[in-house]
Structure 1
Amino acid sequence: MVLFALGFRPFFLAAAIFAVGLMAQWVFTFAGNREFANYYGAIGWHSHELIFGYAVAVIAGFLLTAVRNWTDVQTAAGASLAGLTALWFIARLMPFFPGAFPPWLIALVDIAFLPALAVALSIPLLRSGQRRNLIFLPLLGALALANFLVHLELTGYTESSARAGTFLGLNLIILLIVIMGGRVIPFFTERALSGVIPKRRPAIEWLSPASATAFVITDLLLPNSMLAGALAALAAVSNGIRLGGWYTNRFWRVPLLWVLHLGYAWVVAGFCLKALAAIGLISPQFIVHAFTVGGIGVLTLGMMARVSLGHTGRPLKTARPVALAFVLVNLAAVIRGILPIIFPQWLPQLVALSGSLWMAAFSLFFLIYFPILTQPRIDGRPV
């Protein structure tokens, strides 16, 4: 079955449709409809599922595809990929039936996905001996630990670990974006624009992920501290310099490129807001959505669009509705990530508008890419 030939196909489709449903629930909830029968609760479901549902699905699709390319060893496909996808879906559905399943079982199924993904990736990585790419295995393990912290509170074993687990999960996703973005964004830019060679400064290439890693650890142990803020500032500067080295005004003519560069710019903006919050210039409640709607939303949408075309043998041309989706998700990020800092009194209206733009963007992606992801490659290659 074509859908389960390679990881990006089922997981990108699942992520896109889930992104729409996830935001629809949140807009409905934020409008005052808080009666939400769910294991996580209304607010908890929104934060948990954006990280451990949507973002993890995109990461799964990307890594299962990328590792196959890096190692030339087949990753999960066919029945094994279908099983992995089913595990993700079941983990999304079970929380809606808290009376039918004990909390420990809901937690166990949800926690199991990331270790299962790590095992699926470890086989080709270990066979190939590519030590450089083994870094993704402990990162997936750390994400599983973050998810475990969330479920410890929800199952009654702790009183206050869910928030720490949620923010650890978010920060780890941002770290993964820094690592993966540093590899693929300059590569895609160089491939698409003849004569353009993005600058890679060795010190910056080391400092960008190193500062982000230090921030992740410090924000877990000393959340919202001055030290965490200082490391966020260092991550903002180093990743900003890194992003500047990739810049060329030629990429503005290629939507598949500018969406990735803007997504990475949102990560830099998120680190900047973290630093400003640490010194009291803005409220901590306003810093999250530059990372989530901007960094995660913009960059993952662009990545799904680019990877799906490349791995189905199609020309790297952006359909107009998809280019519109890129614009809409960036507008959603501005409206949710920046405007509430300036106009906090308009927060309900801004949430509704941003959520609507997000849903429109991912709906457009799903409609255009459904046939691409469910049909064979057009160049005749098997996968």
Structure 2
Amino acid sequence: MSKVIRPPFIGPAVFSYGFRPFFLGAGVFAVLIVPLWMVIWSGQIAVRGPFSPLDWHIHEMLFGYTSAVIAGFLFTAIPNWTGRMPTRGWPLMALTALWLAGRLAVAGALGLGQVAVMVADCAFMAAIGVMVTIEIVAGRNWSNLKVVAAVLLYLAANITFHLETMIAGSAYYGRRLGFAMVVMLIGLIGGRIIPSFTRNWLVKKSPEPGALPEPFGRFDAVSLGAMLLTLLVWVVWPMSMPAGVLLMLAGVGQGARMLRWRGWRVWSSPLVLMLHLGFGFIPAGLVALGFASFEILPAAAGYHLLGIGGFGGMTLAVMMRASLGHTGRALQAGPALTLAFACVALAAVARVAVPVPMGLWIAAALWTVGFGIFVWRFAQVLTLPNPARRQPNGR
């Protein structure tokens, strides 16, 4: 595939590439949303939107924060997949406005009814799905159509969440379906980028790097298919023996995938190691949900291992690496970024291991500090032009 020559972008740098507005937005949102949740949880303010406080918290972590990271990743990766021009300029501005409108609508700030809130919130991922499909089809990159399917299922989970709250008052099925789809996205995308980045680092480190990670293959496809079946059983029938057994087996399967990626060999590269550690919360969370099906552990343990450690840790690691790499900076974490990831990982452990309310407050503080470091470190990186491309006029 020939390399596309990209003309210089003359608009605001923050809208020059997909990762910039969405990674920045996700980081700022992560810093604000958890302290706000703690204020709501402690009863100091009330949620004005259509959801109960707990549903609002779950929804905004699943479909608010996470959707921004997914959009940033896709609009950065797809030009590499297809060889086509990246989405930038006014389309990115419009998509960012859609994402912000969804957050305001769900919070009740726009004064909309439930149906209008659903439309405002779901419009963002619907637009992402359409644009991603157009790009992949135009680039004839048929192998990545499975990513489109995952995105559309993620959108379906969000619609289910809204409809269920309208009908039943709370989104039990929508909540589980949302978790299931994000787990699948991380399993699919993480299973491609983690062994690839690990291999690249090992080869660069030594001309004779020894055992290398196994690339995405039949074992990964089978384990992902089994995990999808498992998660669908869990969505429909969570407190059952079949769900419990299948969840534990799925966790073991994802753990086996991790062993094939040789993560223990990259301990001296925190930026690569973070990806392995973040993904490690996925099998841990699946096993914890399996124990919850037998009422051995609370379901909250599995949810938070997946949500804080898996979703939060993996997305933070991906955002840091992509933001450094795509702005021409060295792929080195340094003490600050290493601390940021450690805070989020420890937040997951604290939320599960320390009793409520202390564990809740500790986890919230660690999460906020971790993402606060990310925003502090990357606010200018994401809003200013790449250093090598700066012109005397600031472009």
Work out the CA distance in 1 between the residues paired with 2:216 and 2:103: 42
Shift of 1:280: 3.1
Structure 1 residue 60: Cα displacement: 0.7
**Which residue of 165, 168, 183 corresponds with 1:174?**
183
Which residue, 91, 97, 104 being the options, matches 2:115? 104
The answer for the alignment partner of 1:230 in structure 2 is: 245
- 1:343 equivalent in structure 2: none
- Given the alignment of the two structures, is residue 328 of structure 1 paired with residue 337 of structure 2, yes or no? no
| The one of 155, 159, 162 aligned to 1:151 | 162
Residue 137 (structure 2) pairs with residue 142 (structure 1): no
Q: C-alpha separation between the residues in 1 aligned to 2:221 and 2:49? A: 42
Residues 238 and 293 in structure 2, CA contact (< 8 A), matched pair in contact too? no
Alignment of 1:254 onto 2:256: no
Residue 76 (structure 1) shift: 2.3
1:6 aligns with 2:17: yes
Aligned twin of 2:358: 349
Could you state the TM-score of these two structures normalised by the residue count of structure 1? 0.93
C-alpha deviation, 1:323, in angstroms: 1.1
The alignment partner of 2:66 has SS state of: helix
Report the CA distance between 1:138 and its aligned residue. 1.8
Q: What amino acid maps onto 1:91 in structure 2?
A: G
Question: Do residues 17 (structure 1) and 32 (structure 2) align?
Answer: no
RMSD over aligned CA atoms reads 2.0
**Change beyond 3 A, Cα 1:75–1:228:** farther
Partners of 2:118 and 2:253 in 1: CA distance: 37
Q: 2:333 aligns with which of 310, 315, 318?
A: 318
- Compared with structure 1, are the counterparts of its residues 322 and 98 closer, same or farther at alpha carbon in structure 2 (3 Å cutoff)? closer
- Is the partner of 2:36 in helix, strand or coil? helix
**Structure 1 residues 103, 135: CA separation in 2 closer, same or farther (over 3 Å shift)?**
same
**Letter matched to residue 380 of structure 1:** R
How many residue pairs match? The answer is 375
Match of 2:51 among 40, 44, 56: 40
For 2:126 and 2:289, how far apart are their aligned partners in 1?
30
Cα drift, residue 324 of structure 1: 0.8
Q: Alpha-carbon deviation of 1:381?
A: 10
Q: Measure, in 2, the Cα distance between the counterparts of 1:44 and 1:68.
A: 35
Report Cα offsets for 1:292-350 as digits up to 9, x if no partner.
001001111000000111111111011321111011111101101x305xxxxx31011
What amino acid does structure 1 have at the position aligned with 2:147?
F
How far apart are 1:36 and its partner, in Å? 2.8
Q: Counterparts of 2:263 and 2:171 in 1: how far apart (Å)? A: 42
Separation (CA, whole Å) in 2 of partners of 1:358 and 1:148: 28
Work out the CA distance in 2 between the residues paired with 1:74 and 1:144. Answer: 25
Which of 303, 318, 322 is the matching residue for 1:307?
Answer: 322
Match of 1:129 among 132, 140, 143: 140
Which amino acid is 2:155 matched to?
A
State the match for 1:184 in structure 2: 193
Q: Deviation of residue 201 (structure 1)?
A: 7.8
SS in 2 for 1:73: coil
Deviates more, 1:12-21 or 1:309-318: 309-318
Contact conserved, 1:152 with 1:161, CA < 8 A, in 2? no
- Does structure 1 residue 363 correspond to structure 2 residue 376? no
Alpha-carbon distance in 1 for matches of 2:318, 2:61: 17
CA contact (8 A) 2:317 2:341 kept: yes
Q: Which amino acid aligns with 1:362?
A: F
- 2:69 matches 1:54: no
Distance 2:242 2:262 in 1: 30
Secondary structure in structure 1 of the residue aligned to 2:238: coil
One-letter identity of the residue aligned with 2:16: A
**CA distance 1:103–1:279, shift in 2 (3 Å):** closer
Structure 1 residues 294 and 117, CA, compared in 2 at 3 Å: closer, same or farther?
same
1:218 aligns with 2:233: yes
Aligned equivalents of 1:97 and 1:32: distance in 2? 17
Note if contact 1:20-1:359 (Cα within 8 Å) is conserved in structure 2: yes
SS in 1 for 2:389: coil
Amino acid at match of 2:105: M
* CA-CA distance at 1:17 after TM superposition: 0.6
- 1:87·1:113 contact (CA, 8 Å) conserved in 2? yes
Contact in 2 for aligned 1:31/1:348 (Cα 8 Å): no
SS across alignment from 1:347: coil
What are the Cα deviations for residues 326-378 of structure 1, in whole angstroms up to 9, with x where unaligned? 11111101101x305xxxxx310110011000000000000101111112223
CA contact (8 A) 2:343 2:369 kept: yes
Does 2:78 align with 1:63? no
**In the alignment, which residue of structure 1 is the partner of 2:353?**
339
| Offset, 1:278 | 2.2
